């Protein structure tokens, strides 16, 4: 409590850090496998609509609460809403714990893949390799190493750690993804991949399952619904044009996911591997893509290593934001010093991730629980908070953004449209979720 609150060094640094939070495994791994699972282009369209209609308003809400209160989630909600809103803040922190625990396990896989590609190449049986990497003691080890790296960055603080890493790594990630998309376009036979990915079957837009998946994915990918963006915004001074920031962050996040699809689908179709992702699970991409890389020979090895390196980068900058939510909460609430808070919480999360590293089904269940329940419930709570409870959120947004006209619309989206929509998604997902948990208990 004694130390003054840290701040970003520059507007650009903040934006890149927030984009770094948003862009991660969600954009490349999860987006591709959900697109494949939900039939291609229709899912992409729904995901875009969800990003704009539901994601953007909630993004602006998080930015507004965070910058306005200059506190981490629990304190920020209390500041504007009183102690009755504390539980929502606690849910945010708990969600951060849950997500980072398994997210770090998947990130560990990506590190392994990058290293294996570099040192040995991608030849060999891809399914067997995935089995060896994804669970068991090796998976635990790489999960712990990845958590160690995350802890090291967060320990260094907002400017020297989080912002610096984003400034260096995010441009690299953008360059890689765009470069790979251009390369994929040169592959003979990639044409049908574009068709699958881009030509929309409008009838499929009316499927509630696809819609619910698209909403969950938009939240996950934008890092919304658990106070990550809120926490980053709490380190802002009050000059930023928040509506513009929200558009830039959401636009960059969608952009990277979209371009990642322009890598994955043309590549898979060019190598005739598209059926492989059809019945997809968490592992699909980790099995199918290396198969493609190995069939492409020497070029494939380079492309594969670079691809997995980009995934590692995205995962790291996202994991940092997840850890920062819990760390800043402990610092704000209990006055802990950053080093101690980071070390303790990083360690606790690392332990929680071990079951997910031992058993891929546990990981899948944790992911489903987080994305289909906690993030949506958190987003619902936050939109009601800013829509109905917070006094004059528009006044806060207007600081640094005079003259924007659509604030009225924004508040009504938060009051009615977003809650109605998220309420429906929550209701719809609960059925799925109980099924998933049952199958876990049974298996
Ligand atoms: N958005 C990140 C991704 O797409 C993951 C992530 C980081 C996240 N912080 C979050 C997801 C907060 C939900 C909430 O990989």
The domain that holds 246 is classified in CATH as: 1.20.1740.10
Nearest CA to ligand 1 atom 14: 223
Whether 4 is covered by a domain: the verdict is no
Q: Please tell me if the CB atom of residue 165 comes closer than 6 angstroms to any atom of ligand 1.
A: no
* ∠ CA 131-136-140, rounded to 5°: 120
Task: Give the Å distance between the CA of 223 and the centre of ligand 1.
Answer: 4
Q: What is the residue range of 189's domain?
A: 11-442
1 pLDDT more than 50: no
Whether 164 is covered by a domain: the verdict is yes
Q: What are the distances in angstroms from CA 415 to CA 27, 57, 78, 276?
A: 28, 10, 19, 43
Q: pLDDT tens digits for 17-26?
A: 999 999 999 9
Whether 3 is covered by a domain: the verdict is no
Whether 284 is covered by a domain: the verdict is yes
Q: Please tell me if the CB atom of residue 150 comes closer than 6 angstroms to any atom of ligand 1.
A: no
- Mean pLDDT of the 19-41 span: 90
- Contact indicator for 219, 381 with CB cutoff of 8 Å: no
Whether 146 is covered by a domain: the verdict is yes
What DSSP assignment string belongs to 359-374? -HHHHHHHHHIIIIII
Task: Give the count of domains, the chain.
Answer: 1
The atom of ligand 1 lying closest to the CA of 314 is: 15
pTM of the model: 0.94
Whether 2 is covered by a domain: the verdict is no
- Contact indicator for 214, 43 with CB cutoff of 8 Å: yes
- Contact indicator for 344, 397 with CB cutoff of 8 Å: no
Residue 211 gets the label, from left (phi > 0), alpha (psi -120 to 50) or beta, of: alpha
Whether 432 is covered by a domain: the verdict is yes
User: Residue 162 corresponds to which tokens in the numbers above?
Assistant: 């989080």
Q: Please tell me if the CB atom of residue 360 comes closer than 6 angstroms to any atom of ligand 1.
A: no
Q: Give the integer Cα–Cα distance in Å for 115 and 121.
A: 9
Residue with the larger pLDDT of the pair 186 and 36: 186
Per-residue model confidence (pLDDT) at position 436? 64
- At 151 the three-state DSSP class reads helix
Q: Give the integer Cα–Cα distance in Å for 373 and 388.
A: 22
- At 277 the three-state DSSP class reads helix
Q: Please tell me if the CB atom of residue 99 comes closer than 6 angstroms to any atom of ligand 1.
A: yes
Q: Please tell me if the CB atom of residue 322 comes closer than 6 angstroms to any atom of ligand 1.
A: yes
Among 17, 22, 58, 226, residue to substitute to test ligand 1 (most atoms within 8 Å of Cβ): 22
Q: Please tell me if the CB atom of residue 321 comes closer than 6 angstroms to any atom of ligand 1.
A: yes
Whether 16 is covered by a domain: the verdict is yes
Q: pLDDT tens digits for 235-253?
A: 999 889 999 999 999 999 9
**Percent over 70 (pLDDT), the chain:** 95
């Amino acid at each position: 409590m004694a130390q003054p609150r840290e701040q970003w060094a520059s507007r650009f640094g903040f934006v890149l850090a927030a984009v770094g939070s948003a862009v991660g495994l969600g954009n490349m791994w999860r987006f591709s496998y959900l697109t494949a699972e939900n039939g291609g282009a229709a899912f992409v369209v729904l995901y875009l609509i969800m990003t704009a209609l539901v994601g953007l308003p909630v993004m602006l809400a998080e930015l507004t609460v965070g910058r306005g209160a200059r506190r981490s989630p629990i304190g920020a909600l209390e500041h504007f809403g009183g102690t009755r809103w504390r539980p929502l803040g606690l849910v945010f922190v708990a969600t951060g714990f849950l997500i980072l625990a398994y997210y770090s396990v998947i990130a560990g896989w990506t590190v392994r893949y990058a290293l294996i590609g570099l040192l040995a190449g991608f030849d060999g049986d891809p399914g067997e390799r995935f089995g060896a990497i994804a669970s068991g003691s090796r998976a635990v080890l790489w999960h712990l190493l990845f958590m160690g790296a995350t802890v090291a960055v967060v320990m260094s603080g907002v400017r020297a750690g989080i912002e610096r890493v984003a400034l260096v790594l995010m441009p690299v990630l953008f360059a890689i993804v765009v470069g790979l998309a251009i390369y994929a376009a040169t592959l003979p036979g990639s044409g049908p991949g574009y068709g699958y990915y881009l030509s929309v079957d409008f009838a499929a837009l009316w499927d509630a399952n696809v819609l619910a998946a698209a909403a969950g994915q938009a939240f996950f990918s934008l890092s919304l619904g658990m106070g990550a963006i809120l926490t980053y915004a709490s380190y802002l001074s009050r000059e930023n044009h928040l509506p513009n920031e929200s558009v830039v962050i959401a636009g960059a996040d969608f952009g990277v996911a979209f371009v990642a699809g322009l890598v994955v689908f043309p590549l898979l179709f060019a190598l005739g591997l598209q059926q492989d992702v059809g019945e997809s699970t968490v592992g699909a991409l980790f099995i199918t893509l290396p198969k493609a890389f190995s069939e492409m020979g020497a070029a494939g090895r380079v492309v594969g290593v670079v691809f997995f390196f980009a995934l590692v980068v995205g995962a790291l900058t996202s994991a940092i934001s997840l850890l920062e939510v819990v760390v800043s909460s402990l610092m704000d609430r209990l006055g802990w010093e950053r080093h101690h808070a980071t070390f303790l919480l990083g360690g606790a999360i690392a332990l929680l991730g071990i079951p997910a590293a031992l058993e891929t089904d546990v990981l899948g269940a944790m992911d489903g629980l987080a994305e289909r329940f906690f993030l949506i419930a958190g987003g619902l709570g936050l939109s009601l908070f800013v829509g109905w409870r917070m006094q004059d959120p528009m006044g806060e947004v207007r600081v640094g953004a005079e003259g924007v006209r659509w604030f009225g619309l924004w508040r009504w989206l938060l009051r009615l449209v977003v809650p109605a929509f998220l309420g429906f998604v929550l209701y719809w997902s609960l059925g799925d979720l109980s099924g998933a948990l049952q199958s876990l208990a049974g298996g």
